[in-house]
């Protein structure tokens, strides 16, 4: 990776700021909030954290289940800004595609570092994960966005909205058909021979177990970022792309906030309507989960868009931009630091992180959930302070 000061003209879809452009400040602010919350919920001080700060055990939804899809949604939206900006500057589609492939490879390798630090044992290395999923979704969706264009206007053509809607529908319906009607080898047909969306007897878990041994899977029998569930995750990214295309139109910002609100509410409703037949489930990234989570992402984006773009509200946005303009950097720092500190022993039965959490909890023994939250907030603050110098010096790590 290399670092450089960015310009307004070339916002990057994964790590660069579009905040210097007033038009898209709300995107970076929301990205910063998403990363802050991601660090918060990934680093709970104990298992007694508030339920809202933990993932749903299986079917269902908590605020924590909104973090990852919101970031992936923003990746999709920013693909539009970045690609159109570079095409307008004369960059060829072939060059953009080569750059996309390089970025995806680096993201995947960063994911292996996050998953394996500090020991990097090949026998137990996890190849799935947050960054590998982002890398794969970014590679596929960005490549499609670069190459599938109407041959009108400029030499590079114009993006086709209909094709992207068609791909979105295909991802969501196709995944439902696979999960509901394709027999799971050794188990049978879901909903007939085995419970639909059984924890281990489902097509996603079965495929993961046949690709990797248990030592390489996050939950031993399955992985929440498995291969097959990347299909609906592409749908999340495509919904971000469609949102980015809409935000680039010439409509007034107040009108955009209204349309985002209506679209968000409609998506939440569609997810809830589909839930009885295809339950909302983050670990399987079900199609109803895609719609429900993206709906909330749209509603939150609408709120930020109204406050920041329409009303010109700026107070406090700088703190979020510290994370929002170096999102991948902040995430990698938070994960690698936790892995390393977790292996620094303090006594025979503790480490730096556990020792810190226990001493914070001792201050408020009657409120263990508050103690856990206090530890998480402290960890977020440490990560923020580590990234702050980059923001102040206008250094934005780019891949």
Position 18 scores a pLDDT of: 45
Position 103 scores a pLDDT of: 95
Position 366 scores a pLDDT of: 82
Asked whether the predicted pLDDT for residue 379 surpasses 60, the reply is yes
* Contact assessment for residue 144 and residue 79, using Cβ atoms and an 8 Å cutoff: no
Confidence band for 9, pLDDT divided at 50, 70 and 90:
very low
Asked whether the predicted pLDDT for residue 53 surpasses 50, the reply is yes
Task: Please tell me the least confidently modeled range out of 8-17, 26-35, 313-322, 376-385.
Answer: 8-17
Asked whether the predicted pLDDT for residue 312 surpasses 70, the reply is yes
Position 160 scores a pLDDT of: 80
Q: Which of 259, 355, 283, 335 is nearest to 55 (CA)?
A: 283
Position 280 scores a pLDDT of: 98
Position 397 scores a pLDDT of: 81
Tell me what percent of the residues of the chain surpass a pLDDT of 90.
Answer: 76
Asked whether the predicted pLDDT for residue 23 surpasses 70, the reply is no
Confidence band for 7, pLDDT divided at 50, 70 and 90:
very low
Position 20 scores a pLDDT of: 41
Question: Taking the chain, what is the end-to-end CA distance rounded to the nearest angstrom?
Answer: 5
Asked whether the predicted pLDDT for residue 12 surpasses 70, the reply is no
Q: Residue 230 corresponds to which tokens in the numbers above?
A: 């990347």
What is this structure's pTM?
A: 0.91
Asked whether the predicted pLDDT for residue 134 surpasses 90, the reply is yes
Position 10 scores a pLDDT of: 37
Determine the average pLDDT of the residues in 62-72: 97
Q: Give whole-number Cα distances, 61 to 72, 231, 238, 342, 374, in Å.
A: 17, 20, 21, 29, 23
Position 1 scores a pLDDT of: 36
CA 235 – CA 73 distance, rounded (Å) = 9
Position 100 scores a pLDDT of: 96
> In which region does residue 284 sit, left (phi positive, over 0), alpha (psi from -120 to 50) or beta (all else)?
alpha
* Contact assessment for residue 125 and residue 49, using Cβ atoms and an 8 Å cutoff: no
Asked whether the predicted pLDDT for residue 6 surpasses 50, the reply is no
Q: Which residues pair with 150 in a beta bridge?
A: 158
CA 190 – CA 328 distance, rounded (Å) = 38
Burial 185-195 (b: 16+ CB within 10 A, else e): eebeebeeebe
Burial 370-386 (b: 16+ CB within 10 A, else e): bbbbbbbbebbeebbee
Asked whether the predicted pLDDT for residue 204 surpasses 70, the reply is yes
* Contact assessment for residue 324 and residue 18, using Cβ atoms and an 8 Å cutoff: no
Confidence band for 4, pLDDT divided at 50, 70 and 90:
very low
């Amino acid at each position: 990776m290399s670092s450089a000061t960015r310009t307004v003209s070339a916002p990057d879809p994964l790590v660069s700021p579009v905040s210097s452009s007033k038009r898209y400040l709300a995107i970076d602010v929301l990205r910063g909030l998403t990363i802050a919350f991601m660090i918060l919920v990934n680093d709970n001080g104990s298992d007694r954290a508030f339920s809202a700060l933990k993932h749903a055990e299986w079917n269902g939804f908590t605020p924590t289940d909104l973090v990852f899809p919101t970031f992936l949604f923003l990746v999709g939206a920013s693909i539009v800004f970045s690609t159109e900006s570079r095409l307008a500057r004369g960059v060829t589609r072939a060059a953009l595609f080569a750059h996309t492939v390089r970025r995806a490879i680096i993201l995947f390798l960063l994911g292996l570092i996050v998953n394996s630090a500090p020991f990097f044992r090949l026998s137990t290395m996890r190849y799935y994960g947050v960054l590998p999923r982002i890398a794969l979704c970014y590679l596929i969706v960005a490549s499609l966005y670069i190459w599938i264009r109407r041959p009108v206007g400029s030499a590079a053509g114009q993006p086709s909205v209909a094709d992207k809607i068609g791909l979105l529908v295909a991802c969501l319906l196709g995944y439902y058909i696979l999960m509901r009607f394709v027999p799971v080898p050794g188990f049978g047909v879901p909903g007939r021979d085995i419970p639909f969306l059984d924890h281990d007897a489902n097509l996603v878990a079965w495929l993961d177990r046949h690709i990797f041994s248990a030592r390489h899977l996050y939950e031993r029998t399955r992985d929440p970022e498995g291969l097959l569930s990347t299909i609906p995750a592409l749908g999340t990214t495509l919904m971000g792309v469609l949102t980015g295309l809409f935000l680039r139109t010439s409509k007034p910002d107040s009108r955009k906030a209204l349309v985002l609100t209506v679209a968000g509410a409609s998506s939440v409703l569609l997810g809830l309507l589909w839930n009885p037949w295809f339950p909302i489930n983050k670990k399987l990234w079900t199609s109803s989960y895609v719609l429900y989570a993206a709906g909330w992402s749209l509603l939150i984006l609408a709120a930020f868009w109204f406050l920041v773009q329409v009303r010109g509200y700026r107070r406090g946005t700088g703190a979020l931009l510290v994370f929002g303009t170096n999102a991948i950097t902040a995430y990698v720092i938070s994960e690698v630091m936790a892995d390393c500190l977790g292996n620094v022993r303090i006594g025979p039965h503790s480490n730096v992180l556990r020792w810190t959490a226990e001493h914070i909890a001792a201050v408020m023994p009657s409120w263990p959930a508050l103690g856990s939250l206090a530890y998480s907030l402290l960890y977020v603050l440490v990560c923020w302070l580590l990234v702050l110098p980059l923001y102040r010096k206008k250094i934005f790590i780019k891949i």
